[in-house]
Structure 1
């Protein structure tokens, strides 16, 4: 009887456990032994849901867990929590493992899956590691922050929180902290929040945050975290001001967690993410695979490799990896950069390229921006939204869409994501057969109105 091969997975969340689960569906335990190593205390959870847990929309940590460690083990996946990989040896097909007791040993593999995720940016500033400064990336981070919020008081005391960074996590955490009764200040070095939008669209987010009572200070760089006599955070300093804080949340974005891969000589891209082929196999390594927030992926619009940290991609990467290790065949073709978020009742969405990204890719383009509503204007509850569209000069190929508005705005971006994946022109989009009824849309859907305006802009540009 042939000896079972061993699949070792580093990282117990979306990409890693998706790969392990898919491989187990295709291979029995006697054919494939699966060992998953997770340095934290949780696995298979929704990291995207952590801000909503903090804000109280999600009642308990367990609600974010898709599958418990016991459920994985019942399916013959040897999931080991509080177990850290400290070294990779791709040539020797082994990894060095340290368990919670500090014991270290080498573990061999036939297939290695690197799903180490991403780490929050933590700038090298005085006081940045002081008690009271929190990242929000893992379930352990979320629990630590919730405990801190309970210590700093309730709505009756109106304690102060400072969020450093105004990206997705920053604005989501600002809302969560407001709902927890804290006075919130958001600091960001960019001129407008949400640099995943063009500045003219980001301005709408800033205006909405200010109306919600979130003090939003842009165009300013944090220089230090001030601490009190007890060593805990008391304020955040910028170049020209100081903001009192009982706690600080870092929302500066993430970088691929690829230190182990770099030390092992595996290929990394410009962002530091691992480079893979379409099968999610690390380039140049036949039996090493990688997926999730630690990799770079092909941007189908620009043709460049990009680092985009999203759970949707991570789960798909895991499915592809698990299928290939399990004896099947699958590829991951790339992404168009779709993301959606919210701050209170404001929905924020984008797909494709921003103006700056299109320029960096060497593309010439035109833009069109329109104001519309989520429903027919006469129907109760119609809410305003703004749609911005980028189209390639002369060809009219859709390059990107951004949407900011109230209820019913965000998920409209999916139409644009499909159009981008199909390489449609904005003129072709104007004839899309979208659903219409007054409770759901104006007669001309806002995305189609933007496509009509972009088509006219392409034609005007072609005459000059």
Structure 2
């Protein structure tokens, strides 16, 4: 009887463990040995849920864990925690592992899956590594932050130093998705929140005119949002703990500092092994999620670049939805089946307090960079029929290609029931629809849910008219 092949997975979260689980469903242990390594203490968890756990919407850390290491092992996957892959010998088909106690050894593979994720952007500034400065990427990061916040509460309610303090202050550096979500988390915990953003508008994933709406709403929510603020230093106290953030113009006191500057692919292992990387530093794969030029190595999740189906360009899009799909595709292919991941249209949704923010497709700058000519329109409507109680404002921006009228992108800034409307446009983008075709979509209507003309369709009508004139 032939020996079982060995599949080695580097990374124990969404992409890696989805790949392992899917491969195990298709091939038993007698055919395929599966070894997965994870350098952290948790597996298969929702990193996207961390801001809501910090803010108190999610009561317990374990609610974010989809499957524990013990559960994976019970399904025939040898998952080794606190074990890091420190070197990849692609020619020799082996990885060098460092275990919890620091001992190292080589492990051979027949099939390798790289699911190393992403790491928070951490600029080389004075004080950036001080105690009290936190990234929010892993469950360990969230636990460390929550532990620090609870210790601060204990000090504030005790009789020692810190007792009787005023309202605590949080400074969030960066106003992207993580930045605004963490701003909300601190608002919910009773903090005075300052968000510092280097750009002229928050949310670089939106066009500036839509980002301006987010800025206005954040200020109305009591979140001090300072734009054009280039951070130069994190100030520390006598104990070496962060106590303020310094920009070129001012200093902002802080009891806690959170970095929300985005992430970059964690591909150092792959880079040193000579594997192909794209402009963002993410691994390049084919439609089967196999690393380009390699028959025995796959990659998925936040460490890869994917094809943007609208622009036709490779792009780094770090989202858990894609990571799970990548894992399913990889596991199916290693398990003897067949699957592909064709690409993305760039759909994302977030919120800060009761403001919902969403986008799909291309921004104006992305469309121009791709060589496309386009028309843009913005409409203001309400989330429900205007006469129905609870109707709230919603702004929709739609971008369409000139002459063809093909939908290129959609952005939404609004309140309750605004954000998920972006899915209408996401489906339209996948289908290659024109804005004229979108105006005839048979969407659900009742006064509690939308006006008789849904805001997305109002934007489509205006965009179709603009295309005809153009």
Counterpart CA distance in 1 for 2:280 and 2:152 is 37
Cα displacement (A) at 1:146:
0.3
Mapped partners of 2:191, 2:397: distance in 1: 34
Which position in structure 1 is the counterpart of 2:404?
395
1:272 aligned partner = 281
Taking structure 1 as the reference length, the TM-score comes to 0.98
Equivalent-residue separation in structure 2 for 1:13 and 1:284 (angstroms): 25
> For residue 408 of structure 1, what is the aligned residue in structure 2?
417
Task: Find the aligned partners of 1:436 and 1:162 in 2 and give their Cα distance.
Answer: 42
> 1:253-275 CA deviation, whole Å, 9 max, x = no partner?
00000000000000000000000
The one of 347, 351, 355 aligned to 2:360: 351
**Residues in 2 aligned to 1:352 and 1:430: alpha-carbon distance in whole angstroms:** 18
Which residue of structure 1 aligns with residue 10 of structure 2? 10
Q: Give the deviation of 1:374 after TM superposition.
A: 1.0
Matches within 5 A, 1:297-312: 297-312=306-321
- Post-superposition Cα deviations, 1:369-413, rounded to whole Å, max 9, x if no partner, equal 101111111111111100000000111100000001111100000
1:317, distance to aligned residue in structure 2 (A): 0.2
Distance 1:383 1:228 in 2: 45
- Maintained 8 Å contact 1:194/1:202: yes
Aligned counterpart in structure 2 of residue 382 of structure 1, from 384, 391, 408: 391
Match of residue 335 from structure 2: 326
SS of 1:293's equivalent in the other structure is helix
Equivalence for 1:122: 122
CA distance in structure 2 between the aligned counterparts of 1:43 and 1:260, rounded to whole angstroms: 20
TM-superposed deviation, 1:157: 3.5
Alignment partner, residue 47 of structure 1: 47
Q: Which of residues 348, 364, 377 is equivalent to 1:339? A: 348
Counterpart position of 2:198: 189
Take 2:83 and 2:167, find their aligned partners in 1: how far apart are those partners?
Answer: 39
What is the rounded CA distance, in whole Å, between the counterparts of 1:150 and 1:56 in structure 2?
12
- 1:315-341 Cα distance to aligned partner (Å, 9 max, x none): 000000000000000000000000000
Offset from partner CA, 1:295-325 (integer Å, 9 cap, x none): 0000000000000000000000000000000
Structure 1 residue 151 displacement after superposition: 2.4
Aligned counterparts of 2:242 and 2:389: Cα–Cα separation in 1:
47
Q: Distance in 2 between matches of 1:240 and 1:40?
A: 39
1:72 counterpart SS class: helix
Structure 1 residue 203: Cα displacement = 1.0
Rounded to whole Å, the distance in 2 between the matches of 1:433 and 1:213 is: 39
User: Deviation of residue 346 (structure 1)?
Assistant: 0.5
2:377 alignment partner in structure 1: 368
1:279-318 maps to which residues of 2 (within 5 A)? 279-318=288-327
3-state DSSP class of the match of 1:16? helix
Secondary structure of residue in 1 paired with 2:200: coil
**Gaps (5+ residues) in structure 2?**
158-164
Measured in 2, the distance between the counterparts of 1:290 and 1:218 equals 37
Rounded Cα–Cα distance in structure 1 between residues aligned with 2:248 and 2:353: 29
CA distance in 2, matches of 1:181, 1:377: 33
**CA positional deviation for 1:163:** 0.3
Q: Which residue of 2 aligns with 1:19?
A: 19
Deviation at 1:437, TM superposition (A): 1.1
Once residues 379 and 227 of structure 1 are traced to their aligned partners in structure 2, the CA distance between those partners, rounded to angstroms, is: 52
Q: CA deviation at 1:250?
A: 0.2
SS in structure 2 opposite 1:209?
A: helix
Structure 1 gap segments, 5+ residues each: none
2:66 corresponds to: 66
Aligned to 2:140: 140
* Cα distance in 2, alignment partners of residues 319 and 13 from structure 1: 13
What's the offset of the Cα at 1:427? Answer: 0.3
Query: Does the CA-based 8 Å contact 1:120-1:137 persist in structure 2?
Result: yes
Deviation at 1:152, TM superposition (A): 2.6
Tell me the alpha carbon deviations over residues 147-180 of structure 1, each in whole angstroms, 9 at most, x when there is no partner: 1111233797411111000000000000101111
1:232 to 227, 233, 241: 241
Alpha-carbon distance in 1 for matches of 2:299, 2:275: 11
Encode CA deviations 1:104-141: one digit per residue, 9 max, x unaligned. 00000000000000000000101110111000000000
Instruction: Give the conservation status (yes or no) of the 8 Å contact 1:152–1:159.
Output: no
- Distance of 1:361 and 1:219 partners within structure 2: 27
Q: 1-side partners of 2:392 and 2:279: how far apart? A: 41
Which residue of the partner structure matches residue 113 of structure 1? Answer: 113
**2:225 paired with 1:241:** no
CA contact (8 A) 1:17 1:318 kept: yes
Stretch deviating more after TM superposition (413-422 or 145-154) = 145-154
The whole-number CA distance in structure 2 between the counterparts of 1:174 and 1:435 is 34
TM-score (normalizing by structure 2): 0.97
